[in-house]
Structure 1
Amino acid sequence: MPVTQLQVLLVEDEPAQREVLAYNLEAEGYAVRRAENGEEAMLMIAEAPPDLIILDWMMPLMSGIEVCRQVKSRSETRGIPVIMLSARSEEVDAVRGLDTGADDYVIKPYNLRELMARVRTQLRRAHPSASGEVLKFGDISLDAQSHRVTRAGAELKLGPTEYRLLVTLLEKPGRVFSRDQLLDHVWGRDIYVDTRTVDVHIARLRKVLTAQGGDDPIRTVRGTGYALG
């Protein structure tokens, strides 16, 4: 089973633009969820945080600026990259959008190829394994292209679930992941798995990582979840 498909939440109230952009995102291999307004977007984010948000500024019920402000003010969602789309081309508007926490600001009408490149850039920063980079933490190294994992130079044999768990933890060292977040990242948002399953696979991952006598790099945060380091 491959690493879970990256999820993009597209928030755009204009149907034609929404569908054209969704088509191009899906052609790039992303799973796309659509929202027509800011309030619907906030409900979808609370239900299942996406890997990236593409957000129109001018929308009914709740503006893109307010959605961005709320996303970036919450610890559980502030790490999600946000690309703001706007017909407002004044420099002061771009500054306001970025000051609210947007990671990028794109002026309408935009070039689709350029926008797709910006999407790839933001997802690469948030999920370096998606671009085949080598992830490292201490003496642990994971080559996302070859799926080879080593510790202190010795190759480790991980099952597919333990591999995906390690990828998730290595991408955000120090970040505490709840069991539900790990379920979303590793098993996928549409698959029901009991949270106790996470504990079982974390134990298996720990066993492999410490088989050669190294310290356990995974920290248990009581009542919350797990973190690397």
Structure 2
Amino acid sequence: MSLVLVADDEPAVLEVLSQVVEDLGHDVLTARDGEEALGLARDRRPRLVVTDHMMPRLSGVELCRRMKQEAQLKDVPVILLSAVLPQGAPEAFAFLHKPFEITDFESVIHKSLAASPEPRADSDVSPLGALGQWVARTLQGPLDTAREQLRRLEHSPAVDRAALATLEVQLQSLESVGRDLRELAWLSSADVSLTRVDTDLGQSLREAVAARGPGIRLEAPEAPVRLPLDVPRIRRVLDALLANAVRHGGATEVSLEPAPAHVTVRVKDSGPGLAPEVVARLFTPFRTDAEGAAGLELYVASELARLHGGTLSVESWPGQGSTFSLRLPRST
């Protein structure tokens, strides 16, 4: 029995592929986009990855390339699936052109697993990291089931749409907790290193804003603003800042301000603002506030900024909204 990660943004295809892998006697992890797949691969270190090519946030080919750049993932075979690529990609171990026969899929799984290295024990994970991994894994199964049931309800004519929207928000919140716990486990390990590539931060920021939907004002230079970044993890920071701003309500303004030595991303909301005592512990893990337990997203975001050699700060006053500033160096 082996752990296999299957990534596809089409729910029906993801279900079929996962079922085939399970029928062969293997455990399955599922991801709905390339960035989620990369995070799960880093956390769980599967023996095999099966991925579609055309996916949001990170394509299948880009996922292959990112895995090849990481010491812990470079030897994990990847089966790339695509209806648009004629011959796959050199970074992938195997390629199947869609549509394909299930028997061909099963055959390439056997071949790929035979070439996969044996998994290594996570002896370098701290107790806190191990706890984060365990909770994230425990949440994954119920979350996948809940997501599938929610998709079925969306096609029911008699469903309460307001209740459905509320369920969607709560499910997204739980999925965010799972991602934060996986990042916490990684941050707590002894081998924490970034995979940096030369990146246009402006493009990453535009994609993050677009993913939040309309209503966010963005000011960014048209010319590329290039920095050495671990793209999925910087995207995690940007997503956290935007989600936090939208959650507080009101208008959200985002700006990208390049300077010779550094670049600053500012996310400003017109919400109720924060009291000084709240600001003082905003980036503390496992904090609580008047509404109960708060998420880990801002703590994780601040740690990811620090690993990039940058900083994450906030200015806020009651009744005047909040401005979060992510400052990153232009060189390492």
Q: TM-score, normalised by structure 1?
A: 0.52
Deviations 1:167-225 (A, max 9, x none): x59xxxxxx976248xxxxxxx859xxxxxxxxxxxxxxxxxxxxxxxxxxxxxxx98x
Identity among equivalent positions (%) equals 31
Query: How has the CA–CA distance of structure 1 residues 110 and 75 changed in structure 2, closer, same or farther, with 3 Å as cutoff?
Result: same
- The match for 2:12 is 16
Query: How has the CA–CA distance of structure 1 residues 117 and 43 changed in structure 2, closer, same or farther, with 3 Å as cutoff?
Result: same
- The match for 1:219 is none
- The match for 1:77 is 73
Q: Distance in 2 between matches of 1:178 and 1:7?
A: 15
Q: Distance in 1 between matches of 2:102 and 2:124?
A: 34
- The match for 1:156 is none
Query: How has the CA–CA distance of structure 1 residues 34 and 120 changed in structure 2, closer, same or farther, with 3 Å as cutoff?
Result: same
Q: Distance in 2 between matches of 1:78 and 1:123?
A: 15
2:23 equivalent among 24, 27, 41 = 27
Three-state SS of the structure 2 residue aligned to 1:62 is coil
Q: Distance in 2 between matches of 1:45 and 1:19?
A: 19
Query: How has the CA–CA distance of structure 1 residues 28 and 190 changed in structure 2, closer, same or farther, with 3 Å as cutoff?
Result: farther
Aligned length: 130
- The match for 1:197 is none
Paired AA for residue 119 in structure 1: I
- Over 4 Å off, 4+ runs: none
2:102 equivalent among 112, 127, 136 = 112
Q: Distance in 1 between matches of 2:30 and 2:59?
A: 16
Q: Distance in 1 between matches of 2:24 and 2:134?
A: 21
1:43 aligned onto 2:39: yes
The answer to whether the Cα contact below 8 Å between 2:81 and 2:95 also exists between their aligned partners in 1 is yes
1:179 aligned onto 2:169: no
Q: What's the Cα RMSD here?
A: 2.5
Unaligned ranges ≥5, structure 1: 128-167, 170-175, 182-188, 192-222, 225-229
Q: Distance in 2 between matches of 1:88 and 1:105?
A: 12
1:15 shift after superposition:
0.7
- The match for 1:68 is 64
The answer to whether the Cα contact below 8 Å between 2:86 and 2:97 also exists between their aligned partners in 1 is no
Q: Distance in 2 between matches of 1:50 and 1:7?
A: 5
Q: Distance in 2 between matches of 1:27 and 1:68?
A: 25
1:16 shift after superposition:
0.6
2:51 equivalent among 49, 55, 64 = 55
2:92 equivalent among 99, 102, 107 = 102
1:88 equivalent among 78, 84, 93 = 84
Query: How has the CA–CA distance of structure 1 residues 190 and 60 changed in structure 2, closer, same or farther, with 3 Å as cutoff?
Result: same
Alignment map for 1:103-142 (pairs within 5 Å): 103-126=93-116
Q: Distance in 1 between matches of 2:110 and 2:59?
A: 25
Q: Distance in 2 between matches of 1:120 and 1:41?
A: 21
Three-state SS of the structure 1 residue aligned to 2:51 is strand
The answer to whether the Cα contact below 8 Å between 2:31 and 2:37 also exists between their aligned partners in 1 is yes
Deviations 1:115-171 (A, max 9, x none): 1110011101225xxxxxxxxxxxxxxxxxxxxxxxxxxxxxxxxxxxxxxxx59xx
Query: How has the CA–CA distance of structure 1 residues 32 and 89 changed in structure 2, closer, same or farther, with 3 Å as cutoff?
Result: same
The answer to whether the Cα contact below 8 Å between 2:80 and 2:95 also exists between their aligned partners in 1 is yes
